[in-house]
Structures are given as structure tokens and as C-alpha cells.
Structure 1
Amino acid sequence: MIDREQVRKVAHLARLKVTPEEEEKFTTELGSILEYFEQLKELETENVKPTTRAIDVSNISRSDQLKPYENRDSLLGSAPESDGDYFKVPKILKEE
């Protein structure tokens, strides 16, 4: 199904250096993988909807909930500069 020349070509495209022994090994292994894909072609998939996952997964993330930080004053106090309730940082954009 796959020969050593094809293995050399794939190795070249992947920028891999392979020895003649590895070429032989990969020829066998890649051949086995491709045979498995041929078996998958025999499966009946006519009525199977396309999907990106094998199982149905819904959004499991929680929604964001705003809540005040308990040690806000100590956090602002450890900043190099603050202005009221905000951190003061150097300007990075030019005004035009």
C-alpha cells in the first residue's frame, strides 16, 4: 500500500532524517495505519450527521459573576502608583 519512496517523501516534507532501518519500519507502520483507514471507509455513514466530537457536549462553562475583591485596598496599596480606585500605569499610546 505504501512504499519506501513514499516514506522518504513524507520524511522529507516533515524535515526528518530517517535511516534505512527506520524507512522499513515506517513503511510497515504507515501501511498498517492506512489499512485501518481503508476499513473505516467500509462503515455505513449515510445517515450520520457530521460532527466535530464523538459525544454531544454542551457549553459547560459557568457564566461570569461579578463580585468585589475582598483585599482590594491591600492590592491597590501594593501597586507602584494608584489613582483612587484604579491602578496608574505608564501611557503607551501617543496622543495626536
Structure 2
Amino acid sequence: MTIHVKDVEHVAKLARLNLNAEEEQMFTEQLNAILQYAEKLNELNTDDVEPTTHVLHLSNVMREDEVRDSLPIEKVLLNAPDEEDGQIKVPAVLE
């Protein structure tokens, strides 16, 4: 696959970037170099490689849920800006 200057102009227009001719040429060369490097991957024999979604073998990195006592309401209300009848009072958002 090869990127042409017209492709760079099109993407720049979509991104609302104002590129001059020198920048368009520079980005065209850079993108083609990236694509050529990526094409080297096609030379590798991947027949015995299992497809994966991540390079690290992580299954579940979350901790186990533990049932434990919550904070007492008095302690929670100490951090509330305002409280009423044992509940945190907030400004009304509906009429």
C-alpha cells in the first residue's frame, strides 16, 4: 500500500488542517515509511502463533469483591456540604 499526496490532502481536509506543500510531502514520505516498516510483518511466518487480543497474558486484574461494613452515616455526613434528615442535601435539578 502506498500513500499519495492526494491522500494526505484529503485527511488534512477532514481534520481541518492547513498544510503547505512542503508539509504534505513530508507527511506523505513519513506515512509511506511507516507502512513499509509494517509490511515487514507480512514476511514473518505466523502459522504457529495463536491469535491474541493483548501481548500480556492477563485474565482478570481486578481484586475479589469482599463484603465488609460500610462507614457509619454520621461519619459520611461529616464530609457532606449540607445534610437534612440523615441524608446529603443537594440543590434541586428539577422543578
TM-score by length of 2: 0.71
Structure 1 residue ranges without an equivalent (≥5): none
- How many Å apart are 1:56 and its aligned residue? 0.9
Structure 1: 4+ residue segments shifted above 4 A: 88-92
- How many Å apart are 1:70 and its aligned residue? 4.3
Between Structure 1 and Structure 2, how many residues are aligned?
A: 90
Q: Is 1:82 the counterpart of 2:51 in the alignment?
A: no
TM-score by length of 1: 0.70
| Structure 2 counterpart of 1:7 | 8
Is the contact made by 2:8 and 2:24 (CA closer than 8 Å) also made in structure 1?
A: yes
C-alpha distance in 2, partners of 1:88/1:34? 57
Determine helix, strand or coil for the equivalent of 1:31.
helix
- How many Å apart are 1:47 and its aligned residue? 2.4
Structure 2 residue ranges without an equivalent (≥5): none
RMSD: 2.7
Letter of the 1:81 counterpart: E
Is the contact made by 1:4 and 1:24 (CA closer than 8 Å) also made in structure 2?
A: yes
Determine helix, strand or coil for the equivalent of 2:49.
coil
Letter of the 1:58 counterpart: S
- How many Å apart are 1:61 and its aligned residue? 0.7
Structure 1, residues 37-64: CA drift from partner, whole Å, max 9, x if none?
A: 2111111122222211012112121122
C-alpha distance in 2, partners of 1:37/1:28? 14
C-alpha distance in 1, partners of 2:67/2:21? 62
